[in-house]
Amino acid sequence: MSNPILAYKDAPTEYIEVDGIRYAYRSLGMPSGSPIVCLQHFTGTLDNWDPIIMDGLSRERHVITIDNSGIGNSEGITPDNVEAMTLDVLKVINALGVKQCDLLGFSLGGFVAQMIATKKPDILRKIILVGTAPQGTKALHSFPQLAEKAFQLNNPMESFLFIFATKSEKSRSKLTATLQRLMERKQDRDKNTSLPSVQAQIKALTRWGTDPVTIKLEEIQQPVLIIQGSHDNMMDSASSQELFRQIPNALLNYYPDSAHGSFFQYPELFVEQANYFLNTFE
């Protein structure tokens, strides 16, 4: 039996075909037990998961990261609504033979995680939501303008810091180190998210805030860990309090002097809390 891959940089990109579409994913960690399926943020690909976090989780469990339709090296067209994104993720999870899993949903991925929890709760054991918000949040009404401002900086580092860091020197320094870690992998990297996919995701994010609310958070019975930054201008830090109030069995942790990239800024703390939650909390 081969040794498990425990470093995200060493996890090869693999592919699985579902309904004629090839989806890219990576797999690492201990092969036994329920895997944790990781769902990515706006424009994020397989290469945007912090290696410290992926490696820390993989030491105790099986970790699967997925490029959804049209993102990174996955084929297909990126949906412009969260419901269609959710259906695609569920197809991939099923095709991978996963009967029960945990979810890590970051930002847009957190929307998908919430929808899976209400549409297909029987496959879920526990859920971690990072930097996300409930359906109907007013914070997303101005998201197109925020995204445009980030893209107009015309500097990948500054665009990254604008979204994920606060203005403090400490936060910017921590997130600069995060971006450097994200670039450590040199081979077998994902394609950057295309403009049509970016536009579709912007529409999906905006619709999450403006469409009629259909998700009933109070029906989520799984344990949920919510992680949020103290100054998340993209999702509005207060949105996590709404998630906490409505989900019956939820924990809420705020990370100080942090923005949308809260767990990027405190990766070791996040790994410690996430593993405790996944291993112990009921």
Residue 32: per-residue pLDDT: 81
pTM: 0.97
Could you identify the residue written with the tokens 């949040």?
Answer: 137
Residue 1: per-residue pLDDT: 47
Residue 281: per-residue pLDDT: 87
Mean pLDDT taken over the chain: 96
**Residues lower than pLDDT 50 in the chain:** 1
> What Rg value do the Cα atoms of the chain yield, rounded?
17
Residue 272: per-residue pLDDT: 98
Domain 8-279 has CATH 3.40.50.1820: yes
The residues, any chain, with a CB within 8 Å of residue 249's CB and separated by 6 or more, are 220, 221, 222, 223, 224
With CA atoms as reference, report the closest residue to 37 among 115, 135, 126: 126
What pLDDT digit, counting tens, does each position of 236-254 carry?
A: 999 999 999 999 999 999 9
Could you identify the residue written with the tokens 């790994």?
Answer: 271
Residue 225 CA to residue 254 CA, distance in Å, equals 11
List the chain domain ranges.
Answer: 8-279
| DSSP symbols for 79-148 | -SSHHHHHHHHHHHHHHTT-SSEEEEEETHHHHHHHHHHHH-GGGEEEEEEES---TT-GGGGGHHHHHH
